[in-house]
Amino acid sequence: MESKPLLNDQLISDIDEKEVITKQKGLWQADRDAWSNDQPATAFLAQQLDIELVPALNVTTAATDGRGLYVNPYWSASLDETTRRFTQAHLVWHCAARHFSPALGLDSRRWHLTCDHEVNVVLLMLGFVMPPQAVLFPACIGKSLPDVYAWLADYPLLNEEVSLDAPPWLADSKKYDEDETTHFAVRSLEQHWQEQACEVMHRYVRTPDLRFLMASWHTNCS
């Protein structure tokens, strides 16, 4: 009887990686499916974004560029359920807030922390369980983005703050380059997510599912 060849280390590694990717993608999809009942506004926004598991060389944790969610599968596997769900919701609302690029002339790391704070205030008000490592500055709740950014200039613990996600403008989105077949080629990401934010406002702002109104997001919503 002819014996079967032994799996070499590379093949075993490839099989293990595929199993990790399949499991983690299933968990991220299951998390957003669960939102249809208790977080419908977030579920609606999440539908706009494909979940992509990518190598660590591209994304060390997770990121979004408004076209997709890019997740390091091994990093995802290290998270507990609360942190994983919060991270996906955080990325989704980054899109609704249109945090796609660093502000010109500003420190990109401080700007990312400012954007993280704004999104996490939203998630806090929506009732998401916030993991202890999530960025939030209680003294800045209710402040505008420019005011939070200015406040952080004198924040003594700034260097100790670490974002759960990678900055959106570092997301690897090569496979999502705009072309004639994508709706993003017809209208910009800014316009697309402005429309999605307005749709969320129209659907949920007067219901218990969206118990607040972000005035800056409501601008230009008829």
Rounded Cα gap, residues 72 and 164, in angstroms:
12
The per-residue DSSP string of 59-72 comes to -SSEEE-SSEEEE-
- Tell me, what's the pLDDT at 170? 72
Mean pLDDT by 10 residues, the chain (222 residues): 50 72 96 92 94 86 93 95 97 91 86 95 92 96 94 95 87 47 57 88 70 51 66
Give the pair of three-digit tokens for residue 221. Answer: 């919503």
Name the nearest CA neighbour of 119 among 216, 219, 9.
Answer: 216
Helix (H) or strand (E) holding 50: strand 50-53
Rounded Cα gap, residues 89 and 142, in angstroms:
20
Radius of gyration of the chain (CA): 19
Helix (H) or strand (E) holding 62: strand 62-64
**Strands 50-53 and 68-71, how do they pair?**
parallel
CA 175 to chain centroid: 18
- Tell me, what's the pLDDT at 219? 52
Angstrom CA distances, 179 to 13, 47, 138, stand at 35, 21, 43
Phi then psi dihedrals of residue 195, to 5 deg:
-65, -40
The pTM for the full model equals 0.84
Rounded Cα gap, residues 206 and 39, in angstroms:
14
Name the nearest CA neighbour of 78 among 87, 69, 89, 70.
Answer: 87
Residue 2 DSSP label: P
- Tell me, what's the pLDDT at 213? 46
Name the nearest CA neighbour of 46 among 27, 66, 62.
Answer: 66
- Tell me, what's the pLDDT at 57? 75
71: three-class secondary structure by DSSP? strand
Rounded Cα gap, residues 76 and 87, in angstroms:
10
- Tell me, what's the pLDDT at 208? 60
